[in-house]
Amino acid sequence: MIDFEVQGVELPNLDYDKVRDWLHDVAADYGFAIGALHYIFCNDDRILEVNRQFLQHDYYTDVITFDYTKDYVLSGDIFISLDTVSDNAKIAKVDIANELCRIIVHGLLHLTGQGDKTPKTKREMTRKENLALRKLSER
Q: What is the mean pLDDT of each successive set of 10 residues along the chain, which is 139 residues long?
A: 96 96 97 98 96 86 95 97 97 95 98 95 97 92
Q: How many domains does the chain have?
A: 1
pLDDT single digits (tens) 20-30: 999 999 999 99
pTM of the predicted protein model: 0.94
Cα distance from N-terminal residue to C-terminal residue, the chain: 20
DSSP calls for 35-74: EEEEEEEE-HHHHHHHHHHHH---S--SEEEEE--BTTEE
CB contact set of 21 (below 8 Å; sequence gap of 6+): 139
**CATH number where 31 lies:** 3.40.390.30
Boundaries of domain holding 102: 2-137
